[in-house]
Amino acid sequence: MRPTLRLLEPQLPTNRLIDLCWLRRDLRLHDNHALFQALQGDVSVACVFIFDPQLLDELEQDSKQVAFMYACLQSLQTDLRRHGSELIIAYGPAERELPRLARQCNSQIVYANRDYEPYAKHRDHLVGQSLLAQACTLQLYKDQVIFEQDEVLTGQGAPYSVFTPYWRKWLLQLGNIGVPSFDSLSACHRLLPLAPLALPSLTELGFSEHTLTKLLIQAGSAAAQEALQKFSTRLHLYEQNRDFPAVNGVSRLSPHLRFGTLSIRQCVEQCWPSDSAGASCWLKELAWRDFYQQFLWHYPDTATQSFKSEYQNLEYSNNEDWWLAWCTGQTGYPLIDAAQRQLLHSGYMHNRLRMISASFLVKDLLIDWRRGERFFAQHLIDYDQAANVGGWQWAASTGCDAQPYFRIFNPITQSQKFDPKGDFIRRYVPELAALDNKSIHAPWLSRQLPLEFRLGLHYPAPIVDHSTQRELALALYKRSSDS
Ligand SMILES: Cc1cc2nc3c(=O)[nH]c(=O)nc-3n(C[C@H](O)[C@H](O)[C@H](O)COP(=O)(O)OP(=O)(O)OC[C@H]3O[C@@H](n4cnc5c(N)ncnc54)[C@H](O)[C@@H]3O)c2cc1C
């Protein structure tokens, strides 16, 4: 327990059975499967959230991820108070805290939504066992995906490792089954009445309060509804705009999907059955999310190991100066630097940029994808292990359905194609603002730099030569697959 942390214990009625709904990455009261199931019986239900030190201790003091989650909890607490109830908060390992609370409440059932990450699976197994020892069961429900675990398999009963056939089957099953919805909200009047309890402050939890003021994406389920509603008015343009980071083309709903302030089922209902190319394209992205979730569930080792065995032992050079330059957005490649600075500034990075920047780290700087994966895990508000590992292994060509090793993004042509006027670069790399639309993609190649601009002084010269590094990367992958 952190020294400054003093949690208030809820005033629970004695001699009464109270079941618990353990909220984790589903911080909302509406369309919440576990909460819906919990509220079906005639036993009172209280909602619980547990701060897990093992997860929190991995994050920096100014973590935007924690600040966002915290703001979501504040909003959830307000929502619960509207129903006369309260969020019970605990701090510590769930396998200790949940049985303790369940004992206090004489709970027979703890309801929760399933989580597919290796750590969460292990934790839930331990919690389930501890609860069983006191005659209480942990009941898990599917909530954060459309299809989970073994629900979409090949004709031979194997998990899919290639997206396109998975997507076809996913779509077929969606057509057959449809999207259920769980009206948990209208049963919330049945939640256990509880007196208000203060949330521990971010400072007490070991984090900086100041980060809350720096969040650029509004937290909480009301904000998620508003963001979805706004996005729905431009959904039909999604396909044509989604690859251009300077354009308001994507939904930016990923933090809400990550913390469950938005239901995935509601997102699917927004775009299916699809009435535009934009809606179909967005539905496909939502299916990628399911794809990576089921993949990590089937292959938990891929969280830290390359899926393709021939690339398990790639001999990365892991140059520390280059690593630092990439982390801080000082590589001398403007679009890469803009991408990295967007991440540091906002806790978000556009998908096209995640692909280019990840490829650059691995195939231009020859740095292990796992370091990049960890860096994103530290800085992304929407950090999701399945999608992040999937994305990194895709970019590194080591994963399922990854791009072939010889496809190496050229950071200059990608910049010319996806940020043609340099608008995005100018937003995040202001020292290049005065460069013309052509020079801004590769200042070192330009003969028309502004007079006052000095490459190497006002902005770094490129730390590597892309063509040289490309050849080195090809040789690296070839050596690994030949050995
Ligand atoms: C190297 C790398 C790392 C990534 N790390 C993460 C991560 O930690 N968390 C995360 O949510 N996404 C991750 N992605 C996937 C994708 O970049 C983000 O989901 C997307 O940029 C979020 O922005 P959005 O909500 O505007 O997406 P939109 O384009 O509006 O898509 C809607 C939703 O679909 C899902 N989605 C879209 N693309 C993907 C994808 N390729 N894989 C899985 N789900 C997808 C997300 O939930 C997203 O919110 C990563 C991609 C790469 C290449």
Quote the ligand 1 centre to 10 CA distance (angstroms): 38
d(C-alpha 204, C-alpha 269), whole Å: 40
Give 265's contacts (C-beta < 8 A, 6+ positions apart). 31, 146, 179, 180, 181
Give 242's contacts (C-beta < 8 A, 6+ positions apart). 249, 250, 281, 351, 352
d(C-alpha 311, C-alpha 184), whole Å: 46
H or E element that contains 111? strand 109-113
Give the three-class secondary structure for 418: helix
Nearest to 44 by CA among 5, 65, 15: 15
Q: For residue 167, give both structure tokens.
A: 């997507």
| % helix, strand, coil for the chain, step of 5 | 50, 5, 45
How many Cβ atoms are within 10 Å of 106's Cβ, its own excluded? Answer: 17
H or E element that contains 403? none
Are 87 and 51 spatial neighbours (Cβ–Cβ below 8 Å)? no
Domain 144-181+220-298 fold: 1.25.40
Q: Which residue has the tokens 């059955």?
A: 273
Domain 309-482 fold: DNA Cyclobutane Dipyrimidine Photolyase, subunit A; domain 3 (1.10.579)
In one letter, which amino acid is 479?
Answer: R
Res 219: pLDDT: 97
Are 65 and 59 spatial neighbours (Cβ–Cβ below 8 Å)? yes
Are 255 and 348 spatial neighbours (Cβ–Cβ below 8 Å)? yes
d(C-alpha 229, C-alpha 240), whole Å: 19
282: buried, middle or exposed (CB in 10 Å: 19+, 13-18, 0-12)? buried
Q: For residue 478, give both structure tokens.
A: 């070839």
CATH code given to domain 1-142: 3.40.50.620
Assign 3-class secondary structure to 174-213: HHHHCCCCCCCHHHHHHECCCCCCCCCCCCCCCCCHHHHH
d(C-alpha 287, C-alpha 147), whole Å: 9
Tell me how far the alpha carbon of residue 56 is from its chain's centroid.
16
Question: Using a 6 Å cutoff on CB, does residue 401 contact ligand 1?
Answer: no
In this structure, what are the phi and psi dihedrals at residue 217, rounded to the nearest 5 degrees?
-110, 125
Q: Do domains 144-181+220-298 and 309-482 have the same CATH topology?
A: no
d(C-alpha 243, C-alpha 414), whole Å: 10
Res 257: pLDDT: 98
Q: State which ligand 1 atom lies nearest to the alpha carbon of 350.
A: 21
Question: Using a 6 Å cutoff on CB, does residue 289 contact ligand 1?
Answer: yes
Nearest to 300 by CA among 66, 94, 98, 119: 119
Task: Determine the residue of 349, 351, 374, 407 to mutate for testing ligand 1's pocket, defined as the one with the most ligand atoms within 8 A of the Cβ atom.
Answer: 351
Question: Using a 6 Å cutoff on CB, does residue 392 contact ligand 1?
Answer: yes
Res 3: pLDDT: 55
Question: Using a 6 Å cutoff on CB, does residue 391 contact ligand 1?
Answer: yes
pLDDT in single tens digits along all 483 residues of the chain: 565 677 777 888 878 899 999 999 999 999 999 999 999 989 999 999 999 999 999 999 999 999 999 999 999 999 999 999 999 999 999 999 999 999 999 999 999 999 999 999 999 999 999 999 999 999 999 999 999 999 999 999 999 999 999 999 999 999 999 999 999 999 999 999 999 988 999 999 999 999 999 999 999 999 999 999 999 999 999 999 999 999 999 999 999 999 999 999 999 999 999 889 999 999 999 999 999 999 999 999 999 999 999 999 999 999 999 999 999 999 999 999 999 999 999 999 999 999 999 999 999 999 999 999 999 999 999 999 999 999 999 999 999 988 899 999 999 999 999 999 999 999 999 999 999 999 999 999 999 999 999 999 999 999 999 999 999 999 999 999 887
Question: Using a 6 Å cutoff on CB, does residue 477 contact ligand 1?
Answer: no
Question: Using a 6 Å cutoff on CB, does residue 265 contact ligand 1?
Answer: no
Q: The dihedral of CA 240, 336, 446, 475: what is its sign?
A: negative
Quote the ligand 1 centre to 13 CA distance (angstroms): 44
Nearest CA to ligand 1 atom 37: 285
Res 9: pLDDT: 78
- The domain ranges of the chain are 1-142, 144-181+220-298, 309-482
